[in-house]
Structure 1
Amino acid sequence: MKKKRKYTFRKFMNDVHLWLGLGSGIVLFLVCFSGTMLVFEKEIKALFAEDLKIKNKEEIIEIGDLVENLKSRGEVLGVSISNKETDPYEFRVKTSPEDRRGTIFFVDPHTGDTLKAPESSLDGFFMSMFRLHRWLLLDTAIGRPIVGVATIIFFFLAVSGIIIWFPKKWKWRNFKPGFKIKFSAKWKRINHDLHNTLGFYSCIFLVVMILTGLCWSFEWYRDAGSQVLGTKVFGNRGSPGIESQLDFDPSEELTVAEIYKVASKELNYNGITSISLPSSKKGVFQIRKYDESNWSPVVSDQLVLDRNGEMLQKEIFKEKPLNVQVASLIKPLHTGEIFGMFSKVLYFISCLIATSLPVTGTIIWLNKMKKKKVSSK
């Protein structure tokens, strides 16, 4: 009579990993696949975008005049100015009430020539990928919690996967197979190694994506994250509540070009300056500047200037408390933009691996089921 095997913790982890993976596999495949497509969205769109040729002339048209020229197209929300002479100005224009984020127009500051960011089939493709990633192409009220629950399951899959990856006996010769893929073996072993080894190498990046991604799925998770960090997650968007201290007197106002000079003096380094224009009589200028020599291309310093150039608020990123810095970097930590191209490549590879895990995992399970059927005959 065969001695019955004990139901060990390792066996329990195997079962958790198996059944959670089978139950969420399709959703995770779709979410990870769409996430892989979105990593290089900006770069891919840029490849197919028409360049605005900057004509080399010494005279530069005043920014305010460029704003006036664009008002025929809609409400000008803001402008981004690079320190590179070969780059056009990038204006954001609200062309209709439905155009909440604004449409990008590139403008040659020497000639005033305007080029609207061209629409293409890629826009529709990437929007579909975005909706698939966030809501599975469903209504947000239905898709968001489904993706959120699948993401939580993914976290437990990652944890249980790492536990299973560790060998029973902690000796180096037992660890070595988990670090490499034996391509000379049969396809079943190769498939197992692809799941086991690639899952191990990508795990840390996937956990970062999971923990940050849940901030968009559940308000309770976002609130809990705010409690843990001691500052509000997604709370530092613009400068709400700050209004102009001036009575509305056009003679006291500085031009956009003068505001740009004030900002350049306050933030005296090379980089892209984004200026959000006042949208009402009590509105103020909100400025972000990205230091091109910084460790991260998404980190910015912020100014709020009154319409006469008076400083109302100044926030230097490196001077903020660490918890506030982390909270403001949730999005780039999730998308891989945090360290520019280097981190994007790592995230792309990790997302690609994550997309393959439900497939290789299901194949492992099917192979085991076939083996059990053969052995039971």
Structure 2
Amino acid sequence: MSKKAKKYTFRKFINDAHLWLGIGSGIILFLVCLSGTVLTFEEEIKALFVKEFVVADASGSPLSMKELAESLSKEGIVSNVIIPAETNEALKFSVKTSPQERRGTTYFVDPYSGEYQKVQKSNLDGFFLTMFKMHRWLLLETEVGRPIVGVATLIFLFMAISGIILWFPKRIKWKNFKPGFKIKLNANWKRINHDLHNTLGFYASIFLVIMSLTGLFWSFEWYRDAGSKVLGTKVFGNRDGGPKFESALKPGTTEKTFEEILQLTSAEFAFKGETTITIPAKDKEVYTITKNNHSRFSPIITDKLVLDRDGTLLHKELFAEKPLNVQIASLIKPIHMGTIYGTFSKIIYFFACLIATSLPITGTLIWINKLKTKKSKKKQPAFV
């Protein structure tokens, strides 16, 4: 008597799609996730391999910003300065060595002695650049690698969601849920491998969905446009720095010193945090200031201030007063990179990416083990 054919259920379809899409994109997903894991702590790792610039003595009075800028003038044009929240840390000046240079070169400056040091290149700069290119383009040409990574990310998004569906047991009872929360370390290697894939994948799934949804903004213009429509504001639409302001000062008007501009900034933003000030070099240019608040939930969120050279307030932009949709759009990059909550979120993202890197391996092993089991069953003699 022939066995009754099993019904092809929705769960079976999800399982098959999860399996074959995973097998087909496994190598690409492994490389993208591996490079993403490495890039999580890029700055911290690179800092270990360069000599730290130490402020010699923070007990005296700091030099004026004019004096510090003049000491750097032989290197080029000072374009902006980053003032740390702590007084015992070095200032960071950006110096343009040529008019064509966009961002300038960073110099660490001791505010008390005036000594400075050009930012040192790490021996790992080339390695991390390679990891970045692999993460974004698989080391291929941008036009080729970007859509490949984009399609792989779409597959990864589906697999993260389908993985959550498959994690749920067929019968919704607590005793059926319990095995999905833990790894049975005293079992054989096949069971351990299955638990590593199933359990760790479940714990990391929400972060993998977030990474995928945000990462697609860099891969596809249509996705970026669709996301902008959904949010009601342009994603990555503020890359040029927003509206432009020009100085309205008349010739002969007394201009504020840098220290006076800094005092006005402290009055407007009366909180502790890192301050970045763009220094005007031409007559029509103004001071553009951003400052973050160390007491906020996120250390990367900044408020913005634009002051004319005489201290007149031209523009004030508080992150907390922005509409929610604008806030979300401006946080897509730090959400994707895991910098949204500083070191805390970067640690979480590191382990989530590490798990994501392991999923193509553990998933492939599960598939191979199932193939071996099917072959062994076929070899067994049939009893009539």
Pair in the same fold by TM > 0.5: yes
The structure with the largest alpha-carbon Rg is 2
Q: Deviations over 1:27-55 (max 9, x none)?
A: 11111101111111122222333222322
User: By how many angstroms is 1:374 displaced?
Assistant: 1.7
User: By how many angstroms is 1:372 displaced?
Assistant: 1.5
Tell me, yes or no, if the aligned pair for 2:216 and 2:223 is still in contact at 8 Å.
yes
Equivalent residue number for residue 343 of structure 1: 345
Equivalent residue number for residue 257 of structure 1: 259
Q: For 1:1-377, list aligned pairs within 5 A.
A: 1-54=2-55, 55-96=57-98, 99-237=101-239, 239-247=241-249, 249=251, 252-278=254-280, 280-377=282-379
Tell me, yes or no, if the aligned pair for 1:105 and 1:115 is still in contact at 8 Å.
yes
Q: Rate the CA distance shift 1:250–1:37 in 2: closer, same or farther, 3 A.
A: farther
Q: Please, which moves more after superposition, 178-187 or 278-287?
A: 278-287
User: By how many angstroms is 1:99 displaced?
Assistant: 4.9
Distance of 1:351 and 1:219 partners within structure 2: 25
Q: Rate the CA distance shift 1:340–1:151 in 2: closer, same or farther, 3 A.
A: same
Tell me, yes or no, if the aligned pair for 1:77 and 1:279 is still in contact at 8 Å.
yes
Tell me, yes or no, if the aligned pair for 2:247 and 2:283 is still in contact at 8 Å.
no
Distance of 1:258 and 1:125 partners within structure 2: 43
Distance of 1:292 and 1:26 partners within structure 2: 41
Q: Rate the CA distance shift 1:371–1:272 in 2: closer, same or farther, 3 A.
A: same
User: By how many angstroms is 1:332 displaced?
Assistant: 1.0
The answer for unaligned runs of 5 or more in structure 2 is: 380-384
Counterpart code for 1:194:
L
Q: Please, which moves more after superposition, 85-94 or 242-251?
A: 242-251
The answer for unaligned runs of 5 or more in structure 1 is: none
Q: Rate the CA distance shift 1:25–1:100 in 2: closer, same or farther, 3 A.
A: farther
Q: Deviations over 1:238-276 (max 9, x none)?
A: 544422232574754333332222111111111110012
Counterpart code for 1:10:
R
Root-mean-square deviation (CA, aligned residues, Å) is 1.7
Give the TM-score normalised by structure 1: 0.95
Q: Rate the CA distance shift 1:373–1:98 in 2: closer, same or farther, 3 A.
A: farther
SS in 1 for 2:73: helix
Percent identity (aligned): 59
Counterpart code for 1:346:
I
Q: Please, which moves more after superposition, 59-68 or 127-136?
A: 59-68
SS in 1 for 2:155: helix
SS in 1 for 2:93: strand
Tell me, yes or no, if the aligned pair for 1:296 and 1:340 is still in contact at 8 Å.
yes
Q: Rate the CA distance shift 1:313–1:375 in 2: closer, same or farther, 3 A.
A: same
Whose helix fraction is larger, Structure 1's or Structure 2's? 1
Q: Rate the CA distance shift 1:248–1:135 in 2: closer, same or farther, 3 A.
A: farther
Counterpart code for 1:135:
W
Counterpart code for 2:170:
K
Distance of 1:69 and 1:92 partners within structure 2: 13
Distance of 1:29 and 1:348 partners within structure 2: 14
Equivalent residue number for residue 382 of structure 2: none
Distance of 2:244 and 2:102 partners within structure 1: 21
User: By how many angstroms is 1:96 displaced?
Assistant: 4.7
Q: Rate the CA distance shift 1:183–1:342 in 2: closer, same or farther, 3 A.
A: same
Give the TM-score normalised by structure 2: 0.94
Counterpart code for 2:136:
R
Counterpart code for 2:326:
V
User: By how many angstroms is 1:280 displaced?
Assistant: 4.0
Q: Please, which moves more after superposition, 276-285 or 195-204?
A: 276-285
SS in 1 for 2:139: coil
Q: Rate the CA distance shift 1:288–1:238 in 2: closer, same or farther, 3 A.
A: farther
Distance of 1:344 and 1:217 partners within structure 2: 22
Tell me, yes or no, if the aligned pair for 1:30 and 1:132 is still in contact at 8 Å.
yes
Tell me, yes or no, if the aligned pair for 1:64 and 1:257 is still in contact at 8 Å.
no
User: By how many angstroms is 1:2 displaced?
Assistant: 1.6
Q: Deviations over 1:97-124 (max 9, x none)?
A: 6753332211001111001121121111
Q: Deviations over 1:271-315 (max 9, x none)?
A: 110012235432222111011111111011111112222111101
Distance of 1:6 and 1:239 partners within structure 2: 58
Distance of 1:99 and 1:294 partners within structure 2: 34
